[in-house]
Amino acid sequence: MSDESKISVCNLYKIFGENPQGALEKVRAGMGKAELQSETGHVLGLNNINVDMPTGKTTVIMGLSGSGKSTLIRHLNRLIEPTAGEVYVNGENILDYNEHRLRRLRQAEMSMVFQKFALLPHRTVLENAGMSWAIEGKNRKQYAEEATRWLNRVGLEGQGGQYPAQLSGGMQQRVGIARALTSNSDIMLMDEAFSALDPLIRTDMQDLLIELQDELSKTVVFITHDLDEALKLADHLVILKDGFVVQQGEPQDILLNPNDPYIEAFVSDINRARVLRVRSVMKTTSDTPQEIAGEVDANDTLESVIATSRGDTTKNYRVMRNGRQVGVLHMRDLVRALVPRVASDASGEWMLEK
């Protein structure tokens, strides 16, 4: 796993307070967040985090507010210094970097998208998009082409001369994404990037991000408090609670096998048919079975497949991605996946018998 991971976080601790090292001893000895706060007045931000973020994939870090997710993402480019632990990017421990090398990392290897957009209000949209180039000392002429290309790609044709305040929230965040893309860095950190947007615009932006990911395959680290969003975007899902990792893995897998009451509570409210996707229920194969009722896309939700099949559980579908077959979906597997684990404990035997 760690060979193909772009970013690895190892044994990371972050404690806020007067004497973090002293508090660290207590945390390592097993003291919890609430206890530490009441006894020493220190806030436990992150508690022994170990996460590998795969190259070219989207890693979503999910948790409620106060779970430490924003603190964690800021460790990846050292906007926050850890109390203990290591952060490896491309195999190098960035905590060993000096100021100059760290700046290079932030300029060339990582880019970041913020919840509140954080655009420069006194610069035009084009200048904002070309910010990383400007930081490296390039002038407007040199970055105009590249910045315009990405502005066009995120759907902001002809807006380059505007100022950020003249745009709506969704458009401002498109500028934020264009700014991150223009830097041509492999890693994109997104801190609750869509949380401040209206639901409809948020869905648009999620779709945009998925499209861009299909095209570019960047290593995206995405922070969110919204499980639906997490499940929609994630290749690798990390769930944080009170500063530690409760569960991490393939999102659909977490949904199907939650290992903690906290996650079960999260998952139970989810409309599984709408969230689970064909790709996580299908059998991966390029063979074409005999009876094919039709074709579905790998990213279709189960809900839409049920609608297509009109509830017939005997059908099989060919699963397509970008016009090529990637697998086969049996409707029986689909129905099985719709039952939450708590319920399936009782009925699982019967299901298997069938």
Please report, as ranges, the residues that interact with other proteins according to CB under 8 A: 77, 79, 102-108, 110-112, 114-122, 131-132, 134-135, 163, 165-166, 179, 183, 189
Q: Which is nearer to other proteins, 60 or 134 (CB)?
A: 134
Q: Which is nearer to other proteins, 28 or 101 (CB)?
A: 101
Q: Which is nearer to other proteins, 22 or 161 (CB)?
A: 161
Least Å distance, CB 166 to other proteins, is 7
Least Å distance, CB 135 to other proteins, is 5
Radius of gyration of the chain (CA): 22
Q: Which is nearer to other proteins, 116 or 283 (CB)?
A: 116
Least Å distance, CB 109 to other proteins, is 10
Whole-number Å distance between alpha carbons of 123 and 341: 52
Least Å distance, CB 128 to other proteins, is 10
The answer to whether residues 173 and 193 touch, using CB atoms and an 8 Å cutoff, is: yes
Least Å distance, CB 133 to other proteins, is 10
Q: Which is nearer to other proteins, 189 or 227 (CB)?
A: 189
Burial of 16 (0-12, 13-18, 19+ CB in 10 A): middle
Q: Which is nearer to other proteins, 118 or 273 (CB)?
A: 118
Q: Which is nearer to other proteins, 167 or 267 (CB)?
A: 167
Q: Which is nearer to other proteins, 5 or 132 (CB)?
A: 132
Cα separation values, 278 from 191, 285, 342, Å: 28, 13, 22
Least Å distance, CB 270 to other proteins, is 31
Least Å distance, CB 107 to other proteins, is 4
Least Å distance, CB 163 to other proteins, is 6
